[in-house]
Amino acid sequence: MGWSELLLIGVVALIVVGPKDLPVMFQSLGKMTAKVKRMAREFSRAMEDAADSTGMKDVASDLNKTMNPKSMGIDKLRDAADRFDKWEPGKKDAAKKDLGPETQKLSEERAEAKRKIHDASAKAAEERKAREAAAAASEAAELSDEPDFDEEMVNGADAPAPAEPDTKAAMKSETKPGAPGDAGVS
């Protein structure tokens, strides 16, 4: 409540109660407010005493200790999750620790071994491609030397003779007795 609201309440009280009874009313209002505050304080104290006598305070402190994020490791989990959220796999760490001399030496050896393996693999791949190309070329040369078909078959030198038709069977099928259009050969 602001000063203007208190002033408005005072003016209304002055008009309603009157100037003679106004101090008595404020005195009784103050006593009643003090009594309510005292009762609230006593109630809070009684509740705290009851909690102490039942051991609730000890249980509450134990519960607070167990639910502490540090004791449960939740704070470490949050830190890890935050680092994962901020992690960018494409970028190198600028604040990376300096490598020691032995670590640097091992790193250089591994880089050299990687380069040698890469070079050997590339050379082997080139040799394999060259062998495959040579094999394909020799196969193509062999196929070009062989004709696709037998030239003797084309010229007819050793070609098998066509089968002669069976004239007796052909004649029998042409002239059947009693067939329509037959001139009465019997």
| Model pLDDT, residue 108 | 87
| Model pLDDT, residue 123 | 95
Asked if 186 and 177 touch (Cβ cutoff 8 Å), the reply is yes
3-class state of residue 186 by DSSP: coil
| Model pLDDT, residue 118 | 94
| Model pLDDT, residue 95 | 47
- What are the extents of the domains in the chain? 3-54, 58-86, 102-145
φ, ψ of residue 91 in degrees (nearest 5):
-95, 145
Residue with tokens 């052909």: 170
| Model pLDDT, residue 124 | 94
| Model pLDDT, residue 146 | 61
| Model pLDDT, residue 77 | 80
DSSP 11-55: HHHHHHH-TTTHHHHHHHHHHHHHHHHHHHHHHHHHHHHHHHHHT
Q: Cα separation of 19 and 21, whole Å?
A: 6
Task: Chunk the chain into consecutive blocks of 10 residues (it has 186) and report each block's average pLDDT, rounded to whole numbers.
Answer: 88 88 90 97 92 80 77 76 78 60 84 93 95 91 67 53 56 55 51
| Model pLDDT, residue 22 | 87
3-class state of residue 92 by DSSP: coil
pTM, to two decimals: 0.30
The angle at the Cα of 171, spanning 170 to 177, to the nearest 5 degrees, equals: 125
| Model pLDDT, residue 126 | 95
